[in-house]
């Protein structure tokens, strides 16, 4: 007897959860920098074009699939055609890979939350991060043990995630009511602090002064599409799973617009916090802003801490605020990925949610130990590069090809319109059939050419083969095996 599928308490819960997944570390440590290197204020043009021509159409596709098929991505694709189930597994496994290292980044954040009370990084934030906290080894071949602080952080992360997920979608819905607004408020505090510092205006000029000549560079456009896909958490099965807990006649289009614009707005807003602070850092140290601007862990764990130490008063307070922001940004992105995998297990084998959650959390914890080790940062960097460049784009491409050419955009659009407040026109068909496949195809090809031209990050070839190519091929092979594995196809509760 099939059980009744669990439901969100209401539309706001679903929307908050989707926004929580989309708004993550990428909004604060990726968007501002990508905008700055790709034309500053002028980047907003390709960014919005990418949002409207690919991000939102693909989000509608994923919401539509989840609502219509009422199941995890593998269920959705196998309902389209039995032999396509593997595409769903592909996204679920890619999500699992991201989970294993995203949790480690959260582990660093817990450590820094603790260290910010005493501003423990002192004068040398760089040395502190790499030598003290990560205890970074000489290269990917030297794993060399696990620093206790990070291990503890990883454990805390997984306990927190387990308790949020194991009870089901109802609890997720309640948790996001806090974890979504909190970081936005905290970013607001950081913006006010940043803007009232000397040098802030120079920082903002750097961030936003438009360089329209960049719009002629195709790389800038690809960067915009890449940022949109990443930021909206597309192609990882998340939006399909979250939408599958909505009733079958739920709105698609308006939900997609709301989620996407909220995410984009938060990115733009976070840029004010980051660049005003960088402007202050440049002002206080006399170093040019172009030298201090950066993205990723270097920005969050070295540059911003350096600036925080230089604050005129209450530096520790703002340090705590900053790392709380990162933690609350990251947590709902992480559990959205976990939820996608847990739902997939429940939908395939009909096992109990507690058990599925435990299996995923524990397995991800164990694999995460690699990224926690002293050589872990190298592996994290390699795996992240491959999953973002080949996982995301390839899965997105498969999705639009299946809907565009196997299901057909017209019947799919008619379904979407039958339950949506805002009706989409034929433009959606063109975006799914032509624009998005071309962009994703071009992204895959340019990334691949880049790989051949230069070994990524200067790492030894064997490490790139293991952490990059073998990982990607492994995911595809396992996807096929999972498709063939017998399931119960039970519904979740
Ligand atoms: N959207 C999240 C961010 O911007 C990252 C993310 C990507 C989360 C893919 C889940 C899946 O940080």
Question: Counting atoms of ligand 1 from 1, which one is nearest the CA of 22?
Answer: 1
pLDDT interval class at 307 (50, 70, 90): very high
Mutate to test the pocket of ligand 1, among 231, 242, 269, 395 (most ligand atoms within 8 A of CB): 231
- Asked whether 337 lines ligand 1 (CB < 6 A), one says yes
**DSSP letter (8 states) at residue 460:** -
Q: Exposure string (b/e) for 56-72, b if CB count within 10 Å is 16 or more?
A: bbbbbbbbbbbbbbbbb
pLDDT interval class at 95 (50, 70, 90): very high
pLDDT interval class at 383 (50, 70, 90): very high
Q: How confident is the model at residue 227, as a pLDDT?
A: 92
- Asked whether 233 lines ligand 1 (CB < 6 A), one says yes
- Asked whether 24 lines ligand 1 (CB < 6 A), one says yes
Q: Which two tokens stand for residue 65?
A: 């699939």
**DSSP letter (8 states) at residue 421:** S
In angstroms, what is the span from residue 124 Cα to ligand 1's centroid? 30
In Å, how far from its chain's centre is CA 125? 26
Residue minimizing CA distance to atom 2 of ligand 1: 24
Residue minimizing CA distance to atom 10 of ligand 1: 233
Which candidate, 154, 175, 155, places its Cα nearest to that of 165? 175
Summarize pLDDT for 149-168 with one digit per residue, the tens: 999 999 999 999 999 999 99
In angstroms, what is the span from residue 70 Cα to ligand 1's centroid? 23
Summarize pLDDT for 243-284 with one digit per residue, the tens: 999 999 999 999 999 999 999 999 999 999 999 999 999 999
Tell me the mean pLDDT in the region 422-449: 95
> Per CATH, which fold does 11-484 belong to?
Amino acid/polyamine transporter I (1.20.1740)
The reported pTM is: 0.94
In Å, how far from its chain's centre is CA 195? 27
Q: How confident is the model at residue 492, as a pLDDT?
A: 39
2 pLDDT higher than 60: no
In angstroms, what is the span from residue 233 Cα to ligand 1's centroid? 5
In angstroms, what is the span from residue 228 Cα to ligand 1's centroid? 10
Q: Exposure string (b/e) for 322-361, b if CB count within 10 Å is 16 or more?
A: bbbbbbbbbbbbbbbbbbbbbbbbbbbbbbebeebbeebb
Question: Counting atoms of ligand 1 from 1, which one is nearest the CA of 392?
Answer: 9
Summarize pLDDT for 188-223 with one digit per residue, the tens: 999 999 999 999 999 999 999 999 999 999 889 989
Break the chain into its structural domains and give their ranges: 11-484
Q: How confident is the model at residue 1, as a pLDDT?
A: 36
* Alpha helical stretches, state H, 420-464: 427-430, 436-453, 461-464
- What does the DSSP assignment read for 228-280? HHHHTTTTSSHHHHHHHTS-TT---HHHHHHHHHHHHHHHHHHHHHHHHHHHH
For residues 145, 148, 152 and 154, what is the CA-based torsion angle, rounded to 10 degrees? -30
Which candidate, 320, 340, 317, 338, places its Cα nearest to that of 328? 320
In angstroms, what is the span from residue 484 Cα to ligand 1's centroid? 29
Say which range, 47-51, 77-81, 274-278, 483-487, has the weakest mean pLDDT. 483-487
């Amino acid at each position: 007897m099939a059980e009744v599928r669990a439901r969100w308490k209401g539309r706001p819960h679903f929307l908050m959860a989707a926004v929580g997944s989309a708004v993550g570390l990428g909004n604060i440590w990726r968007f501002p920098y990508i905008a700055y290197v790709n034309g500053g204020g002028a980047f907003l043009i390709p960014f919005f074009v990418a949002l409207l021509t690919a991000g939102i159409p693909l989000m509608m596709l994923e919401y539509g699939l989840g609502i219509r098929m009422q199941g995890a991505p593998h269920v959705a694709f196998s309902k389209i055609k039995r032999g396509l189930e593997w595409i769903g597994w592909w996204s679920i496994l890619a999500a699992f890979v991201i989970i294993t290292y995203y949790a480690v980044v959260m582990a660093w954040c817990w450590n820094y939350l603790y260290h910010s009370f005493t501003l423990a990084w002192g004068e040398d934030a760089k040395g502190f991060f790499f030598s003290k906290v990560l205890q970074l080894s000489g290269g990917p071949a030297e794993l060399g043990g696990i620093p206790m602080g990070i291990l503890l952080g990883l454990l805390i992360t997984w306990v927190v995630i387990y308790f949020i997920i194991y009870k089901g979608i109802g609890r997720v819905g309640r948790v996001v009511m806090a974890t979504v607004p909190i970081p936005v408020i905290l970013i607001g505090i950081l913006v006010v602090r940043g803007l009232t510092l000397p040098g802030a205006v120079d920082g903002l000029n750097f961030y936003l002064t438009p360089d329209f000549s960049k719009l002629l560079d195709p790389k800038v456009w690809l960067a915009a599409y890449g940022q949109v896909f990443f930021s909206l958490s597309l192609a990882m099965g998340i939006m399909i799973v979250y939408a599958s807990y909505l009733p079958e006649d739920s709105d698609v289009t308006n939900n997609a617009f709301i989620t996407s614009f909220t995410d984009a707005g938060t990115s733009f807003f976070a840029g004010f916090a980051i660049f005003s602070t960088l402007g202050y850092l440049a002002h206080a140290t006399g170093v040019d802003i172009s030298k201090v601007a950066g993205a990723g862990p270097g920005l969050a764990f070295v540059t911003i801490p350096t600036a925080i130490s230089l604050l005129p008063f209450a530096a520790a307070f703002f340090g705590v605020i900053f790392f709380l922001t990162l933690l609350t940004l990251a947590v709902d992105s992480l559990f959205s990925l976990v939820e996608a995998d847990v739902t997939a297990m429940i939908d395939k084998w009909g096992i109990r949610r507690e058990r599925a959650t435990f299996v995923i959390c524990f397995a991800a914890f164990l694999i995460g130990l690699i990224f926690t080790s002293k050589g872990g940062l190298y592996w994290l960097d390699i795996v992240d590069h491959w999953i973002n460049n080949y996982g995301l784009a390839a899965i997105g491409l498969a999705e639009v090809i299946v809907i565009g050419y196997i299901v057909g955009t017209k019947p799919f659009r008619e379904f979407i319109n039958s339950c949506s407040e805002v009706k989409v026109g034929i433009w959606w068909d063109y975006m799914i059939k032509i624009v998005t496949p071309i962009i994703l195809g071009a992204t895959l090809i340019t990334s691949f050419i880049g790989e051949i031209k230069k070994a990524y990050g200067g790492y030894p070839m064997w490490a790139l083969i293991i952490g990059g190519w073998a990982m990607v091929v492994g995911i595809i092979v396992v996807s096929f095996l999972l498709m063939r594995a017998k399931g119960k196809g039970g519904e979740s509760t």
